[in-house]
Amino acid sequence: MEFLWREFLRLYLFLCQDHITEEEIDSFKQAAKSWILKFCEPTIGKSNSANQKRGIKNLQFKHFSTSSLEKKNHIHVRVFFGATTMGGGNKANSVVHDILIYENWQLYFLMNDIPKSIVQKTIVPKE
């Protein structure tokens, strides 16, 4: 188990680097695949015996999915491409342009610490 954590830390620190060469990317890909295979290895043998082979039970490659990215893509399709069907979509800008504007505004709000909603406040002057 300690090996898995140390290897995970090594892979994570590699991702935090600023400059990465093609060779390093290839070696990272192989190391990541090896780590996932080791992480998903089931426990074999009788528990608490000398011939027990450690692993984590019932994990497979399919558990490492990109469903969150697929969900975001689905939301983008519904929001931005909804007007392009059934007679809509006569706007001057393309859908890709609208998506880029939306993403840029999201980044702007996040980077400048601007709230996403407006909260009405009452100002009472002091006498």
Which of 65, 13, 15, 14 shows the shortest CA–CA distance to 36?
A: 65
pLDDT at residue 57 in the model: 55
pTM over 0.75: no
39 in Cβ contact with 56 (< 8 Å): yes
Q: Which two tokens stand for residue 48?
A: 């608490």
**Least confident interval from 34-43, 81-90, 97-106:** 81-90
User: Which whole number is the average pLDDT over 96-109?
Assistant: 81
pLDDT, tens digit (0-9, with 9 covering 90-100), for 49-81: 666 666 555 555 555 666 777 777 777 777 766
DSSP state of 117: S
Residue 50 region by backbone torsions, left for phi larger than 0, else alpha for psi between -120 and 50, else beta: alpha
- C-beta atoms surrounding 14 within 10 Å: 15
pLDDT at residue 64 in the model: 61
Domain coordinates of the chain in residue numbers? 2-63, 67-111
List of residues 6+ apart from 64 with CB closer than 8 A = 36
pLDDT, tens digit (0-9, with 9 covering 90-100), for 12-46: 888 888 888 888 888 888 888 888 877 776 666 66
CA angle, 97 then 101 then 106, to 5°: 150
